[in-house]
Copies of this chain bind each other. A is one copy, B any other.
Amino acid sequence: MASRATRRSDCAIAGTLDLVGDRWSLLIVRDLLVTESLRYGDLLASHESIPTNTLADRLRKLEDAGILTKERYQDRPPRFAYRLTERGYALAPTLDALATWGTTHLPGTRRLIG
């Protein structure tokens, strides 16, 4: 699981943001809340179009953080699916709060989860 080596402070919010506080991580979590199990290509095709190297990097970090798991669901040819762990599902209230703020304060946005 995560090396929690470099935490900025003992604040729970800061600690959480160290793991998911960037433009992409929570969108990956969002996609996996909507669709339980997704492959690399599915996540790439999500409509915000994350760069492929950034996606690979975020998946590694989220896996390290114990937020999602990568499972080989087929051997020949090797195929993988990503899904949230319990820790990952526990981020749902955060995503929900972000979605509520967005739909309330950003005209033209829609709630895709919940």
CB distance from A7 to the nearest CB of B (A): 8
**CB-based closest 4 A-B pairs:** A12-B102, A12-B109, A94-B97, A16-B102
A30 x B48 contact (CB < 8 A): no
Segment of A19-27, A37-45, A56-64, A71-79 engaged in the interface with chain B: A19-27
A47 x B9 contact (CB < 8 A): yes
Smallest CB gap from A33: residue in B: B13
**Interface residue tally for chain A (C-beta within 8 Å):** 45
What chain B residues lie within 8 Å of A98 (beta carbons)?
A: 12-13, 16-17, 94
Total identical chains: 2
Contact of A22 among B10, B21, B93, B110 (CB under 8 A): B21
A5 within 8 A of B: no
Can you list 22 A-B pairs with a CB-CB distance of less than 8 A? A7-B106, A7-B108, A11-B47, A12-B102, A12-B103, A12-B106, A12-B109, A13-B98, A13-B102, A13-B112, A14-B27, A14-B48, A14-B102, A16-B99, A16-B101, A18-B23, A21-B23, A90-B101, A90-B104, A90-B105, A94-B98, A96-B97
